[in-house]
């Protein structure tokens, strides 16, 4: 059994990871987010990224590295 993790906690970690990568000069791909966060599927990473876009914490532009602050 895995411990309960509030939805906001992994999403905040995803946001910090994306921010760090953008500040280093290159936004991450969804697969890079998946691997860095240890998600089992790309869809999990995509769901968190889309949630951050819906919350207005990220912007999405076309392209694999289209996430912006």
Angstrom distances, CA of residue 40 to CA of 24, 31, 34, 54: 26, 11, 7, 22
Question: E strand or H helix at 68, and its extent?
Answer: strand 67-68
Q: What is the mean pLDDT of residues 44-57?
A: 96
How is residue 33 annotated by DSSP?
H
pLDDT at 5 over 70: no
How is residue 3 annotated by DSSP?
P
- Here the tokens at position 48 are 């968190």
Model confidence pLDDT, tens digit, residues 16-45: 999 999 999 999 999 999 999 999 999 999
Percent of the chain beyond pLDDT 90?
Answer: 83
């Amino acid at each position: 059994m895995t411990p309960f993790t509030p939805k906001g906690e992994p999403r905040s970690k995803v946001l910090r990871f994306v921010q760090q990568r953008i500040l280093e000069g290159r936004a991450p791909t969804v697969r890079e987010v998946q691997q860095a966060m240890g998600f089992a599927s790309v869809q999990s990473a995509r769901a968190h990224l889309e949630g951050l876009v819906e919350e207005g914490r990220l912007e999405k532009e076309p392209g694999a590295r289209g996430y912006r602050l």
